[in-house]
A = this chain, B = another copy of it.
Amino acid sequence: MKTVLIIGGMAAGCKTATRLKRLQPDYEITIIEKKPFVSYGTCGMPFYASGDVEDFMALASTPWDMVRDADYFKNAKDINVLTQTEVIKIDNNNKILSAKNLITQQEIKLKYDYLVFATGAKPAEIKFPHPESDKILDFHNPLNAKKFKELAQTGKIGSVAIIGGGYIGVELAEAMVSLWGIETHLIEMTDRLLPNSLDKEISDLLVKTLSNEDINIYLQTTVQSIETDENLFVHLSNSEVLNVDLVFNCTGIKPNTSMAQSIGIKTNNFSAIEVDEQLRTNLTDIWAAGDCICSKNLITNLPSFFPLGSLANRQGKIVAESIAGLNPEFKGAIGTNSIKVFGFTICSAGINEKFATQYNLNFASVWGTFYDRPDYMPDSKTIFAKMLYEKNTLLLLGLQLAGAGELTRYIDAFSVFASDKKTAYDLTNFEHAYTPTHSNPMNPLNFLGAMAISQEKDGIICANPYEINNFQGQILDVREKEEIKALKCEGNVIETSIMEFRNRIMDLDKTKPLLVVCQKGPRSYEIARFCRNSGFIDVKYLGGGLHLARLILDKTE
C-alpha cells in the first residue's frame, strides 16, 4: 500500500488517478484541487460560452450525465478528491504536504509516498496599465466562462475586445459573434493568428474567414493600456481606442510551477517542469504531467511546451504506469492540433517556418490547393496546404491545412508519419480510404510528398503564393480563357492554355526567370516540369495556384 497525492484535478491529474487505481487498487490516491470542481473539460469552455453547450456542468459530467465530483470519484473509483483546497507547503524531506480548505480555512497535513504535479498552467500576466475590474477576464478559469454567459444572457455585452490571437482567442471570437452577435475586436501582437502554429499564408486564410464574419482583427497591434469609467477603453498601439463592455485576456498561459520550484524541482526557462521519458521530475518519487511540463518535440528533439488536452490525458496514463512500475515511455509529441471556426477548419502538426528558422534547419516548403473529394461531386470542398520538410533528408517537419472540407484525416495521418521521422517518400506511399463521397484517389499527402521530392530532386520549384506579387520575370498563365477572364493575372504575363503552350513557350527567353501559374497548381506543376526539361534555367510554379494566392492577397472577394 502506498499513498499518492496528486496536485491538480483536471485532465492530467484525474487520468493519473484513475489509471493508477486500476493498476494498483490498494493504493490510497488523493487529488487536491483549488477550484470547486475536478475533471472539467476546459477545452469545451468556448462552446459553453457560445451557447452550443447549455449546461455549465455538462463539461464536468460523464456521458451518462453523472457529475464527476468528489462523490463520484470516491464511490465509482475509490479515489479521494479535495476540492477548493490549496496546497500551501510541501516538506519533501518528510514527505508531508500541507493544504488549506479555502472555504473553512482549515489546514490539513497529508503524508505521501509518491507525489504528482498536475498543476496545469495559468493565464499570462497583463503587462500594460489597467484598472482592477471584473470586466477584464481571462478565459482560463471556467467560472469566467460562466460569468460571461450570465452577462451575455442579460444583454449587457454589446462589444468585447479579445487580446491574443491564439487558439482560445480565435474560438472565443467565434463564440461572441455566432450566437450573441456581439461586436468583437481581436487584437494580436504578431502579424498573424495562431502564430505558434501557422505561417502567414495559412493564417491569412483564417483572418479572411473571421473578417468575413465581421470580426475586427488588429494584427501587429498591442494594447497600451485599458482605462475605465462605465465601459472599458482599450488603447491600441495604432492609436485607436476601442470602447467595449468586456475584455478577455487571452495572451497565453504559463506553467503553474511555483510550488514545484519551491521544493527544488527543475524547470526550464519557460518555467515548465523538466521530466524524463517516464515523466519523472528530478526529485525521486515525484512525477509531473499536463500543461505544467515540457516534453520532447519529436521534430526538433528539444523540450517543448505543448499545452494540449490530448497530451495531458496520455501523460496522466504514463505517470500512472510509471508509478506502478510498468516502465512506460512518453516518446514526445509534435503538437498536432486543430480548430474549427465558422465551418472553416485550420489544423497543423510539427513546426512552422518561425521555429524551423529558429532551430537553423535547412528546410523548404510546398503549397497545395486540393479538393477534398473529386471535383465532379456536388459537395467537394477545398483544402489548402503548406508543408515543410528538411531539404537534404526530405524528413517531414510540419504541415498546415485549412479549409471547409474533410481534412483532419490528413493532419492525423501526417502526425503518424512525422512522429515516426518519416520522409516525403513515405507520404507518396500513404494508403488512405478512398471513395468519392470522402476523398480523391490520390490524397493531399501523396501530392505534397511528390511535390517535395520533385522540388529537391528535379528542381521543380514551388513558389510561395506571395511571390505572384511583383514577380521579377515572366509569368506563364496556363489557364483557359474563361478562367483568365474571371481573374486576370497582373505583371509580365503570357497567357496560353495547356492545349497550346507547347508552341507558345518556344518564343520565351529560357534564361529569364519563369513563373508558371494556374488555378490550383497541377497544370502549372506539370508545365513547369516541361519547361525545365526544355532548357529553362529558373522555373517555378505557383504553389496552391491563383486560388490560394488570390485569397491571401485579397485581390477579390
Contact = CB atoms under 8 A, between A and B. Distances in A.
A355 interface: no
Interface stretch (A106-114, A268-276, A432-440): A432-440
A157 to B, nearest CB: 22
Contact of A11 (B72, B337, B338, B441): B441
A416 B419 contact: no
A415 interface: yes
A197 to B, nearest CB: 11
Copies, count: 2
Interface stretch (A124-132, A180-188, A213-221, A369-377): A369-377
Contact of A413 (B413, B436, B480): B413
A18 B530 CA distance: 12
Contacts of A371: 63
Contacts of A340: 435, 437-438
A313 B442 contact: yes
Contact of A498 (B61, B76, B480, B534): B76
A430 interface: yes
A433 B386 CA distance: 17
Contact of A310 (B22, B406, B441): B441
B76 A309 contact: no
A222 interface: no
A59 B441 CA distance: 13
A53 B435 contact: no
A359 interface: no
A415 B441 contact: no
A156 interface: no
A400 to B, nearest CB: 12
A25 B329 CA distance: 51
A22 B523 CA distance: 12
A96 interface: no
Interface in A60-86: 61, 63-64, 66, 71-72, 75-78
A433 B11 contact: no
Contact of A408 (B409, B480, B498): B409
* Most-contacted residue by chain B among A374, A446, A450 (CB, 10 A): A374
Which of A338, A413, A433, A498 has the most C-beta atoms of chain B within 10 angstroms of its own C-beta? Answer: A433
Contacts of A336: 431-434
Contacts of A409: 408-409, 412-413
Contacts of A374: 41, 44
Contacts of A428: 314, 317
Contact of A53 (B61, B313, B378): B378
Given A43-B441, A61-B376, A310-B441, A347 B433 contact: yes
Interface string A300-342: 0000000011111110010000000000000101101111100
Contacts of A436: 41, 43-44, 47
Contact of A64 (B44, B376, B519): B519
A445 to B, nearest CB: 9
A426 to B, nearest CB: 9
Interface string A30-73: 00000000000101100100001100001101011010000110
A529 B22 contact: yes
A395 to B, nearest CB: 16
Interface in A426-476: 428-439, 441-443, 446, 450
A92 interface: no
A441 B413 CA distance: 17
A238 interface: no
A150 interface: no
A499 interface: yes
Nearest to A417: B416
B376 A59 contact: yes
Interface in A510-557: 519-520, 523, 526, 529-530, 533-534
B441 A412 contact: no
Interface string A243-262: 00000000000000000000
Contacts of A523: 64
A488 interface: no
A502 interface: yes
A420 interface: yes
A408 B436 CA distance: 13
A349 interface: yes
B64 A483 contact: yes
Contact of A377 (B47, B64, B317, B413): B47
A479 interface: yes
Given A63-B371, A438-B408, A52 B378 contact: yes
Contacts of A441: 11, 43, 309-310, 312-313
A244 to B, nearest CB: 26
A411 interface: yes
A91 interface: no
Contact of A502 (B78, B412, B420): B78
A338 B376 contact: no
10 contacts: A18-B526, A59-B376, A63-B371, A64-B523, A309-B434, A317-B428, A337-B433, A412-B413, A413-B416, A420-B420
